[in-house]
Chains A and B, each alone.
Chain A
Amino acid sequence: MKIRNILIILGAVALNTFVSLYIGESAYNWLPVQAAAESLLVDRLFSFLVTLGAFIFLGVTGTLIYSMIFHRAAEYDLSDGPAIEGNLTLEIVWTVIPILLVFWIAGYSYQVYVKMAIRGPMEHAHSHQMEAVSVAENREKIEVISKQWAWVFRYPDRNITSTELHLPVDRRVHLALTSEDVIHGFYIPAFRVKQDIIPNHKIDFEFTPIREGNYRLTDSQYSGTFFATMAANVVVESAEDYQNWLEDAAKRKPSAAYNQAAFEYNQELQHPHASGWQTIAPASPPVVNYHN
């Protein structure tokens, strides 16, 4: 009888493990495309936590459902269940295992975090000292200016401004984030990176795009009335295309870009909403070399 019970439990654990591994593997599909080196690391950690989480969730609910099916009281059975008040061994086990799990998860998350912060494009090819120098030289430096409710990107080496963020693929990007009014948030879901921009602080931020394409940058910290409109296109392109774009943009004369918040605000001035609730006026549409 005892051996049978142990076999049943082992079978249940094996099944749970198998199903959890499957769910953890499919977790990659719940996320956007992996367009930055950081996204690979984050997704692996996410898949790992989904696997563990699924195992715990299925274990707990499985036990509950088993009890609900097999331990129902008969209709006229007014007797009590066995007066089990605890089990020291069991209680120690289910305290120690979670503590170990916590340290495992925290340690792994820490490793991922450290890697995200130092990861350079050619780290495997150089010694550490060399790497630091080459990475610093190789970084593409861009200034990001946020305001209610517009993004402006400035390429200091060429003195170009744009409302579209162009980035070279496979190169570490160094951003200097600033805000002119309230707290905004810099967030590109496909890159899995996010950083609040605190007014009066210049915040340095780095990542490495690895996949060409068009992505979306959004404001991730609530910034007032037209918060939802504060988005920008992100274009990741080959080194060659990127250079061409820089040269093309440098030739353009600065002009006012279209700005969704300013557009909606002007419309409201002409046709006020019935509610009559006021809003902070948006900053005037940015004047930039490149916009579409």
Chain B
Amino acid sequence: MKIDDFKKINIEVERLHYDRLEKEPGRDWKRYFTFSTDHKVIGIQYLVTAFFFFLVGGIFAMIIRAELITPASDLVDRTVYNGMFTMHGTIMLFLWTFPSLVGLANYLVPIQIGAEDMAFPRLNAAAFWLVPVVAILTIAGFFVPGGSAQAGWWSYPPVSTQNPTGFLINGQFLWILAIFVSGISSIMGAVNFVTTIFRMRAPGMTLFRMPIFVWTVLSAQIIQLFGLPALTAGSVMLMCDLTVGTTFFDPALGGDAVLFQHFFWFYSHPAVYVIILPIFGIFSEIFPVYSRKPLFGYHVVAISSIIIAAVSALVWVHHMYASGTANWMRLVFMISTMCVSVPTGIKVFAWLGTIWRGKLRFNTAMLFALGGLVMFVFAGITGIMLAAVPIDIHVNNTYFVVGHFHYVLYGTVTMGMFAAIYHWFPKMTGRMYNEGWGQIHFWLTFLGTNLNFFPMHSLGLHGMLRRVASYAPEYMFSNVLASLGGFLLGMSTLPFIFNIIISWIDGEKAGNNPWRAIGLEWLVASPPPIENFDEIPIVISEPYGYGKSEPLTLDRPFIEVETIEKITLATTDNQVEINNN
């Protein structure tokens, strides 16, 4: 072994050897309801909370689809319908996709880089416990006079500041407050992730030995750091307009309504990449395992995540082609938007290269990842169409866009999330899930997603607008199909819920590594002990070494204490006493 391999040590020396509380996590469910600072407990807390709100948002979606099964507005009043799609979007984004991905990253990142926990465990717990606050604020909208926010999840002024209730505390007020708190929570999380990834990596875990999931979480959280302040500041300004009578965005009094759109999309478009990047990470973890091959072009895939994060900062105006945007902006942002497809395409081809000539096994996780990949390619193609200004001018704000982003958010993100949950379920719980029910879940989800969202493209091309409670009768057929798909998707969650609950309680015991996967998380027990590793591993090779029969970590019993000493002393600035037991 070469000393050079350990040049980039990122943890304090005393962590190599010290007395550990060898506490096993046990099966005590009560700790999930405490202010635990264990990143694994927090990860599960995020995932379970988020999944609950996925079901709530799903019920709203089914109410929307039930209203749209007939052309007339006949199921709920128009105000309630507007509240439904506003809250559906808000909950699905701020209480399902963001927290679920943060939860997964919380669980996996420290183990995958060989750390005992996140850099700031208490900040981590505080960030999580803001999520229930966001949830209460969001749901409270239904219980104040005048009902919940109804301005759509974009909350464009002047509609969002019209306040028909006349009360100071109204649905829109609570909504803005929820977005603000959610922003604070996410910024806290982002600081923690970026620090953890830069400072807490195990010896030998150089940047180019990190699993792609870690790379994508890093890219995504950097976006949070530069993007979220814009939305959070914008939400404060909107709040001032709504409650204390400022006129930042009020055109009647000299404000600029379009300015808010810039604040909003400057974050909310990169937010799409905050969501999709970790899903790319999940795909990059899962395809090698179930194809028994290394990830094709690991370095390029890693770097393309960072490139996507950088380019994502320069594309936001493509949401505003129709907003009275100057010609030069339309054209500049058309080109920058299309450029995102290049690093994204590299990833897609890399996954194809990974699967090509592999030894494929179609476990539930692999099925979800493959289904997610196919739907992502479709969504990417409609995305390029939407980037082209002339086509976007036709389909902007129509169901074509709704179809496109649901292929991303359901077809890719939610499918990828399910893939991740199935893949790491044995690690998280120490139990195996039921494979048969997993596959039933996959087929129901795959069919439901396509039945629900494919017909929307045709509706949009024919000019049906999003956010309408009633529509011209000519649009009815595709809407009926979409609604049936929506109800099917609602049902598809049932086998998942039962499978997960029953398997968690009474599933077959999983070993440390049921998928014969390569990665630090698979070297520890299932579920992992409280501080993850008995001894911090020393990483000596790149990830995804399938078919290479080389070890991932140094077999520690065979190194002498002096060697470790030499390694660590050579690579840290502050010399700290090594505690030899």
| Inter-chain contact B394/A189, CB cutoff 8 Å | yes
| Inter-chain contact B77/A106, CB cutoff 8 Å | no
Listed stretches A95-103, A132-140, A154-162; interface member = A95-103
Alpha-carbon gap, A225 to B339, bound state (A): 38
Minimal Cβ-Cβ distance residue in B for A189: B463
Alpha-carbon gap, A32 to B355, bound state (A): 40
With beta carbons under 8 angstroms apart, the residue of A63, A81, A223 that contacts B546 is A81
Minimal Cβ-Cβ distance residue in A for B548: A83
| Inter-chain contact A224/B296, CB cutoff 8 Å | no
With beta carbons under 8 angstroms apart, the residue of B258, B322, B335, B352 that contacts A106 is B335
Q: Which interface class (under 10, 10 to 19, 20 to 34, 35 or more) fits B?
A: 35 or more
| Inter-chain contact A61/B374, CB cutoff 8 Å | yes
With contact pairs A42-B390, A49-B391 given, residues A86 and B158 touching in the complex (Cβ less than 8 Å):
no
| Inter-chain contact B378/A225, CB cutoff 8 Å | no
Alpha-carbon gap, A223 to B393, bound state (A): 18
Minimal Cβ-Cβ distance residue in A for B85: A222
| Inter-chain contact A81/B359, CB cutoff 8 Å | yes
With beta carbons under 8 angstroms apart, the residue of A80, A90, A201 that contacts B359 is A80
Query: From residue B6, how far is it (CB to closest CB) to chain A in Å?
Result: 23
Residues of A within 8 A of B356 (CB): 63, 67, 71
| Inter-chain contact B292/A80, CB cutoff 8 Å | yes
Residues of B within 8 A of A41 (CB): 390
Query: From residue B285, how far is it (CB to closest CB) to chain A in Å?
Result: 16
| Inter-chain contact A106/B338, CB cutoff 8 Å | yes
Within 8 A of A (CB), among B137-188: 145-147, 150-152, 154, 156, 158-159, 162, 164-166
With beta carbons under 8 angstroms apart, the residue of A30, A32, A225 that contacts B82 is A225
| Inter-chain contact B152/A222, CB cutoff 8 Å | yes
| Inter-chain contact A228/B293, CB cutoff 8 Å | no
0/1 string, A63-85, CB within 8 A of B gives 1: 11001100111000111111111
Alpha-carbon gap, A60 to B327, bound state (A): 35
0/1 string, A175-201, CB within 8 A of B gives 1: 000000111010101101111111111
0/1 string, B334-350, CB within 8 A of A gives 1: 11001101100110110
Minimal Cβ-Cβ distance residue in B for A112: B390
B471 at the interface (CB under 8 A from A): yes
Alpha-carbon gap, A49 to B82, bound state (A): 34
| Inter-chain contact A32/B463, CB cutoff 8 Å | yes
Minimal Cβ-Cβ distance residue in A for B158: A182
Residues of A within 8 A of B397 (CB): 185, 187, 194, 220-222
Within 8 A of A (CB), among B290-348: 291-300, 322-324, 327, 330-331, 334-335, 338-339, 341-342, 345-346, 348
Residues of B within 8 A of A229 (CB): 470
| Inter-chain contact B162/A277, CB cutoff 8 Å | no
| Inter-chain contact A199/B251, CB cutoff 8 Å | yes
With contact pairs A60-B377, A64-B374, A81-B359 given, residues A109 and B345 touching in the complex (Cβ less than 8 Å):
no
Residues of A within 8 A of B470 (CB): 228-229
A203 at the interface (CB under 8 A from B): yes
| Inter-chain contact A277/B293, CB cutoff 8 Å | no
Within 8 A of A (CB), among B474-523: 516
Residues of B within 8 A of A128 (CB): none
Query: From residue A184, how far is it (CB to closest CB) to chain B in Å?
Result: 10
With contact pairs A73-B292, A80-B547, A98-B345 given, residues A109 and B79 touching in the complex (Cβ less than 8 Å):
no
Residues of B within 8 A of A113 (CB): 330-331, 389-390
A53 at the interface (CB under 8 A from B): yes
| Inter-chain contact A110/B463, CB cutoff 8 Å | no
Within 8 A of A (CB), among B348-366: 348-349, 352-353, 355-362
B561 at the interface (CB under 8 A from A): no
| Inter-chain contact B334/A106, CB cutoff 8 Å | yes
Residues of B within 8 A of A221 (CB): 156, 322, 397
| Inter-chain contact A116/B390, CB cutoff 8 Å | yes
Query: From residue B361, how far is it (CB to closest CB) to chain A in Å?
Result: 5
Alpha-carbon gap, A182 to B164, bound state (A): 14
Query: From residue B460, how far is it (CB to closest CB) to chain A in Å?
Result: 9
| Inter-chain contact B77/A85, CB cutoff 8 Å | no
A251 at the interface (CB under 8 A from B): no
Interface set of B (CB-CB < 8 Å, partner A): 73, 76-80, 82-83, 145-147, 150-152, 154, 156, 158-159, 162, 164-166, 251-252, 257-258, 291-300, 322-324, 327, 330-331, 334-335, 338-339, 341-342, 345-346, 348-349, 352-353, 355-362, 370, 373-374, 377-378, 381-382, 384-385, 388-391, 393-394, 396-398, 458, 461-463, 465-472, 516, 545-548
8 A-B pairs in the complex with CB atoms less than 8 angstroms apart: A64-B352, A64-B373, A80-B293, A81-B292, A197-B324, A198-B257, A199-B158, A225-B150
